[in-house]
Structure 1
Amino acid sequence: MHQNCTNCGLQFQITDDDIKYYTETRVSHPTHCPNCRTQRRLANRNERCLYQDKCDMCEKNIVSLYSPDKDIKTYCYDCYLSDKWDPMSYGRDFDFTRPFFEQFYELKKDIPHMNIYQLFNENCDYSNYTGYCRNCYMCFGPYKSEDCMYGSPYESKNCVDTYVSYGLELCYECINCEKLYGCIECQECVGSSGLFFCYDCRSCSDCIGCVGLRNKKFHIWNKPYSQEEYERIKSSLNLGNRTAYDTLKNQFEKFKKQFPRIYAKNPKSENVSGNFIVESKNCENCFDAKSSQDCKDCAQITYAENCRDCNYEEEITLCYENIGYAFNNSIKFNNTSGHSHEVYYTEFCTNCQYCFGCAELRKKQFCILNKQYTESQYKELLPRIIEHMKQAGLP
């Protein structure tokens, strides 16, 4: 079936497979097209605009992802995780005479937020949306990385200005790369070391200005050299000089345009559409996906299974319309909630299950709008709220 997007007006398709997925996951058919759904999710994530602020509890200077001119309470990391406040104290009854999102917005506006989003980090005060990192400065969305600056490193060490790259060490200005050591200005290179200004090189070492090489070493502009001659030419390039560096960079940009390129970079993948899909199968319209299967309309996902409309997620299963964080199962319409199961319309909740319309909770279950219920009360109230939302045309 085809449907017109209620946001942009363009027609989009809802396939029989989509209908089966929505039925099995108990969600309504989408009213927005995939692109507009993505825009809606991304609009909730301020990743890179940070502001100078003060903690509203201890009043120390902090950086914040929330602009200080907005009426939003922000706590530093230590105060946020302390027992000096209780997110449940902001709980409220659900009002069936008012729209759900109006009540959810009021809860999010009243409750304090962490100044920047970070979990299980050490010395990463100027990085945002970080997880399991150490000594990272001005990194945005890094994961399991240490001693890095700028960019978005994944499982990397001692790197500067890397983006959507995995398993890098001592690298600079690399994008869409994996398992590199000591590489500079590389793009889409894998399993290599000592590369300078290289594109689409795999299992190579000690190469400069090369494109599309496999299992090569001591090459310059795709031509082989002896080790002695290679080292002599490399030294003469004087890459420590900014002018010489920029000159070589411009030469390389012209050089790599001479080579044909594959239509998409989807190695070790089966039945996929999109780009930069690695070791995955049955993924449709996905980008920057790794070790995932049976996913659709997702971007920057790792170890995801049977998920749709998700961004910036790791190790998730049966998730729909989510953005941010990891280790989730069967959660829907969430912003940066993690380690959770069967939660809906939550923000910044961790280790929760069976929660609806909650914010900033930790280790809770059977909550609605941050109010605690018994299991039987929750199961009785939730269907009524969902029906109330459906009558308003909401998913």
Structure 2
Amino acid sequence: MALILNMSKTPNYDSAVKKILDQLVPGERVCVLTGEKWLMTDEEIGWYKKFNVPPSKYSPLTRMCLVNSNFVLFDVWYNYHPETGKPIVSVVHPASGVKVLPDNEWFQKDFSEYGREVELKRAFFEQFYDLVRTVPVPAYYNYVAPENSIAFISLGDQDSYFVIACKSKRTFYGSNAFDVEDTAEVMFSKNVQNSYNVIRSEKIYNCLFVREAYECTDSSFLFDCRNCEHCFGATNKRHAKYLWFNEQLSKEEWEKRRAQVDLSSSSVRIEYEKKFADLVNASVWPENFNLNTDKNAGEYVTDASDIVHGYNVCPGSQSVHYVNHATPVASRDSYICAGIYGSSDCYYGLGFGMCSNVKYSLCVNTNGIDLEYCNSCYDCEHCFACVGLRRKKFCLFNKQYSEEEYWRLVDELKCAMLERGEYGEFPLMNFSSQYWKNSGSVQLYGATEEECRKMGARIFEPGEAGAEGPDANAELIDMSTINDRVSTEELVGRVFFDSVAKRRFSYLKQELELYEKLRLAPPRLHPTRRIQQLYSEMNMPIFMKIPCQKCGKEIVVAKNNNYPVREIYCRSCYLKYLEENN
């Protein structure tokens, strides 16, 4: 862990925080928000000294919940143009109070016109909240303009609908999926074609219901499989063919059984999904799904070094602790971060894109250097508490200053914040633009409504503030009234209601055509619930120690919502099990 060394621009703050850091000792702490106890270690103190910040009063889990309350998992709403009232499809919930503009309109504006004087004696987060609720943010945050698509944070989508952080073609309802074509319900996967309901898999073709698989074709209901084909229900398999729920069959018998299972029937589909869940639950799980990385690095970490409590960390990453979704470009030397890529020396925030020395990022700051408490800023340097700026330097609350005046004010502000106990903490959940129940704090970290309230969340219903759109009063059809088998003509153009999600939804014609092509009954859940179910099958970024259920050695494993009681082996026992069973 390298210290950030530069000439002091804020001497008074530096002197004040040094006194705090010099007196800091390891020991048990109690989170002032949730009451959770944690052990502040020398390593944690080292991060505070590296970034020259005071210690947090919140536990690491609380900090990750606060950061991830802003994380866009998979929610799409109608928001509204702040001037015309025209509906805009966005990942920002209108009841959050955050305003949005279409990307092309947003990037043509200069939001320094919203600049305001800092009030040193007024609570900082009150002032910052006012600015965050005044300056619009992009509705889509697309990095590459999608073609004929409804896409968000797009890396180049074509003819795809409701995909987030993807590079796809003709794909429906995807998240963090790259080079994916003709597929629906896909997450954290690469090179997937003609498939459905795929989680953390690569090089998949013509497959249904796949988890943790690699180079598999013409198969359904796979978990932890490699180089398999023509399998229907297989777990922990390598180079297998013609398996039927792990039973070896001849080619002829397998094809006969497969012909008898018609997944275009909704009841049959549900029956086999349940059988598959039971099979996965009874299977052997490795202590983690990491590849070529340090012991106890976290979960879903690949070819990275010095990772602690990492989650979905891409190859080449170094010295990133308590991070999630550090992908697709490697990052380094960062702490308490979510959604970080190609960045270094970042601290306690969300959405660091090709940034350096950025702290308390509230959402998607790109190509930033030395930013603090900023939101949706692009190509900016040396800015504090700014929203929506582009190619700016030395701005405070969106107001332009000379370099000398900027540093004088920042020094005064940080001293005032430090004295009030504000500096060093992330904004509470009331800053979030997301529907609280579907945010990363709940879906990834398992925060309860009570815990979210303690962390300041605004509790509202999904349909508030017109989030369901201008046709919210349309006639709704209860899915329980729909026949077991339905045609595209019976579904397209109709509005259905998901009583669990408390949301309405419709099917896209292209989506239904894909299900017909795959000979699969359409799902009967709101699209957000479909993606949430995929998340619930993944391991969580919450870790615990248990004994290996083969040899008894202590191992660190991630929790899992869907499979809380699993048979988990340490790495060596797991590899031995694979050798003996393949």
> Under a length normalisation based on structure 1, what TM-score does the superposition of the two structures give?
0.90
Equivalent AA in structure 1 for residue 419 of structure 2: Q
Using the TM superposition, name which of 282-291 and 66-75 deviates more.
66-75
Q: How is 1:193-212 mapped onto 2 (pairs within 5 angstroms)?
A: 193-212=217-236
Select 2:35's aligned residue among 9, 15, 32: 9
Q: Give distance in 2, aligned partners of 1:233 and 1:317.
A: 53
Q: Secondary structure at the match of 1:183?
A: strand
Q: Give distance in 1, aligned partners of 2:346 and 2:191.
A: 26
Say whether residues 1:102 and 2:102 are aligned partners. Answer: no
What does the per-residue CA deviation read over 1:337-394, in whole Å, with 9 as the maximum and x for residues that have no partner? 1222211110111222221110011222221111122333333332222222111112
8 Å Cα contact 2:346/2:352 also seen in 1: no
Q: Secondary structure at the match of 2:194?
A: coil
Aligned-residue offset at 1:40: 1.0
Aligned-residue offset at 1:90: 0.6
Q: Give distance in 2, aligned partners of 1:104 and 1:55.
A: 22
Q: Secondary structure at the match of 2:342?
A: strand
Q: Secondary structure at the match of 1:205?
A: coil
Aligned-residue offset at 1:185: 0.3
Q: Secondary structure at the match of 2:38?
A: strand
Select 2:170's aligned residue among 147, 150, 163: 147
Select 2:237's aligned residue among 209, 213, 218: 213
Q: How is 1:149-168 mapped onto 2 (pairs within 5 angstroms)?
A: 149-158=172-181, 159-168=183-192
Q: Give distance in 2, aligned partners of 1:166 and 1:22.
A: 37
Equivalent AA in structure 2 for residue 34 of structure 1: P
Say whether residues 1:316 and 2:340 are aligned partners. Answer: no
Q: Secondary structure at the match of 1:107?
A: helix
What does the per-residue CA deviation read over 1:266-325, in whole Å, with 9 as the maximum and x for residues that have no partner? 122223332222222221122222222312111222222222111122222221112125
Query: Corresponding residue for 2:113?
Result: 89
Say whether residues 1:387 and 2:415 are aligned partners. Answer: yes
Say whether residues 1:262 and 2:286 are aligned partners. Answer: yes
Say whether residues 1:31 and 2:54 are aligned partners. Answer: no
Q: Give distance in 1, aligned partners of 2:97 and 2:204.
A: 45
User: Going by fraction, where is helix more abundant, 1 or 2?
Assistant: 2
8 Å Cα contact 2:223/2:236 also seen in 1: yes
Q: Give % identity.
A: 23
Q: How is 1:166-181 mapped onto 2 (pairs within 5 angstroms)?
A: 166-181=190-205
* 4+ long deviations beyond 6 Å: none
Equivalent AA in structure 1 for residue 211 of structure 2: Q
Select 1:343's aligned residue among 339, 357, 371: 371
Q: Give distance in 2, aligned partners of 1:389 and 1:241.
A: 61
Higher relative contact order (CA 8 A, sep 6+): 2
Aligned residues between the structures: 392
Aligned-residue offset at 1:252: 2.4
Q: How is 1:213-362 mapped onto 2 (pairs within 5 angstroms)?
A: 213-227=237-251, 229-291=253-315, 292-302=317-327, 303-324=330-351, 326-335=353-362, 336-362=364-390
Structure 1 portions without partners, runs of 5+: none
Q: Secondary structure at the match of 2:366?
A: coil
Q: Give distance in 2, aligned partners of 1:71 and 1:15.
A: 38
Query: Corresponding residue for 2:450?
Result: none
8 Å Cα contact 2:166/2:174 also seen in 1: no
Q: Give distance in 1, aligned partners of 2:290 and 2:96.
A: 43
Using the TM superposition, name which of 5-14 and 163-172 deviates more.
163-172
Equivalent AA in structure 2 for residue 12 of structure 1: W
Q: Give distance in 2, aligned partners of 1:265 and 1:87.
A: 44
What does the per-residue CA deviation read over 1:63-122, in whole Å, with 9 as the maximum and x for residues that have no partner? 24445466554322222122xx32011112222222222221221222223234333231
Using the TM superposition, name which of 28-37 and 224-233 deviates more.
224-233
8 Å Cα contact 1:92/1:371 also seen in 2: yes
Say whether residues 1:364 and 2:389 are aligned partners. Answer: no
8 Å Cα contact 1:355/1:366 also seen in 2: yes
Query: Corresponding residue for 2:70?
Result: 44
8 Å Cα contact 1:338/1:349 also seen in 2: yes
Equivalent AA in structure 1 for residue 205 of structure 2: Y
> Under a length normalisation based on structure 2, what TM-score does the superposition of the two structures give?
0.62
Equivalent AA in structure 1 for residue 122 of structure 2: R
Q: Give distance in 1, aligned partners of 2:388 and 2:380.
A: 10
